[in-house]
Amino acid sequence: MTPSTESGRTEDAQTGVDLLSLDELAVLDEPFATETAELFASVREHDLTTLSARCDDDFGIVDIDPNGGSEVIRSRQEWESWFVQLFAQLSAMEAETDTLIASYDAVDWGETGMSVVEFVQLLTVAGLTGRFNCIVTVVWKQVDGRWIEARWHASLVSTDLPEGFGA
């Protein structure tokens, strides 16, 4: 468990950095912050409909699989299959996930943009919570006045797993 700071934010015990909740990310005055929070929340809630509407992924995605490896996805059919399988696996494990934001940077170039997010993915199974420290680069494009994810590339940086996690 990470301590709460005077600001009410969660402090990362490893780095001392204040971590933002998805609600805090959503209200930042930064490009794509609201959309990014929606992506992470859709995964947490296993909301394939909202996630699908926010993602186009013209160039596919590279995501982190449940074992910490890379999952390369090149088509929309593979994308849908990946998330249906992932959500089913998490549900079968009775797992809960959440995301805390360590840093957020973005640039809006008009019709396209990019964000880089360092985040902690929390995975709670059987009362134990594993921390997966990750970084993702997201390419955004504007479609019919909405920002849509055109490319997602996530990497696992490190893990902090309690004794007995995954056993």
One DSSP character per residue, 71-123 reads EEE-SHHHHHHHHHHHHHHHHHTT-EEEEEEEEEEEEE-SSEEEEEEEEEEEE
Which residues of the chain fall below pLDDT 70? 1-9, 13-15, 167
Per-residue pLDDT at 3: 36
Cα maximum dimension of the chain: 48
Indicate the DSSP class of residue 22. Answer: H
pTM: 0.90
Domains of the chain (ranges; CATH) run 17-160 (3.10.450.50)
Per-residue pLDDT at 121: 96
Q: Which residues of 114-132 are buried (b: 16+ CB within 10 A; e: fewer)?
A: bbebbbbbbbeeeeebbbb
Per-residue pLDDT at 2: 37
- CB of 96 within 8 A of CB of 13? no
Per-residue pLDDT at 36: 98
Per-residue pLDDT at 7: 47
